[in-house]
Structure 1
Amino acid sequence: MELNVKLQVFEGPLDLLLHLLEKNKVNIYDIPIVEITSQYMEYIEEMKRQDLNVMSEFLVMAATLIDIKSKMLLPKDPKQEEEEEDPRAELVQQLLEYKMYKCMAFELKDRQIDAEKIMYKAPTIPKEVMAYEEPVDLQELMSDVTLARLNEIYKSIMKKQADKIDPVRSKFGKIEKEEVSLEDKMVYLEEYAMNHEHFSFRNLLEAQAGKIEIIVTFLAILELMKTGKIIISQEYIFDDIKIKSKIAA
């Protein structure tokens, strides 16, 4: 008759390794890698019928243990002056971090259980208490207030307001946004091109009022070039661009 043995469920390969170390009561900084690897492989054999997705993580750790075991069985080179790094060092660091997080999880679980035993009472303040307002004696409150005192308070407030004003920025004027549409500028350039067969690109831009108008004028020229109403040319690099109108009267 087949005997079914229920295995202990572990959250991952590090959880299994930590269990084996605690079970064998060994120092985590000095893992007996041969013995632990053998016990680990025995557990893997019992898990063969389990879900392959779960098994994959344990198999990767098994390969890591075998790799460490093989490195530790190799003879050390006596000619090598520097002390070789312990192949178990990285695994020990992972186990220490996992153990720390596991202890923290247990602590949080205990706090959650303790918190579930605590009951809180909703506040029940009588309406009379909530509606109570401490009476104010206006005569007593205003007993030391005089016109001179009020004047001092007023001057103090006005001084604070004056100190907030930036002496430089307060003199700046308001910058008005230039409203220039591409359509209006194209109409203007078409009329200009009708009356001027040849004109200068530089002179045209210098005649504009501001930066925004210069940009819109440049875009309007590109649009007129696209429609074939003007032709531009430049004899040498950095020379002025000459514009020829194809719609001049």
Structure 2
Amino acid sequence: MSFEIKLEQFSGPLQLLLELIEGEKLPITEVSLARVTEGFLKHMDAHDVPPEELADFLVVATKLLLIKSRAILPQLQLDDEDDGTKLADQLRMYKQFVDASHAIESLYLSEKIMFPREKTVLVKTREFLPPSEVSPGVLQEAFQSLLKRLEPFFALKRASLARVVSVQERMTQLRDAIVERSHLVFRDMVGGAASKVDVVVSFLALLELMKQRIVKAVQGETFNDIVITKATE
């Protein structure tokens, strides 16, 4: 049963009351909004009011309240597209949610719910599949050949690390030798070198000590012996 208003000035649907007031056929000041609200509350107590009817009532009641506020307080500035319209939009959205919830409830109670399963994505893992004519022995030879080709790269890293350590050790040896002796000839120091790398390491150690002003080196002429002595302050 739909709600109808019963006032001294009007009797009928609430929407019709709003249309009469907006058309200035019925003064809003003669309508008691409190009685309108009270009547709707009694209607709710007596009947099972659906959510959409409640939403419609709130929309109309909000508009009536705004119209009466303008009539009673003309100095109050209220935009025609203000809170009343926003509330109406929110109530309509609320009604949509209510309708959707009822639809979902009906589906659930019908026990005819079917959801399609998502397509399973098969991830192909990469794997090495040699030709059937390739034997394990051939694969072994291929891998051994590859490892031999990589040996120089690993050897280079080990040699670089060894040279770094040797430079530090050779700097210590050279510093100790200068403390014990007044001077040292570079050719004598590298006379027992096992390889060219040792000679280069010794020369780098000498340059680093010269940079730190721990020793100084003098060479009279090109290709003459390099004489190393303790640096003077």
TM > 0.5: no
If the length of structure 1 is used for normalisation, what is the TM-score? 0.29
If the length of structure 2 is used for normalisation, what is the TM-score? 0.31
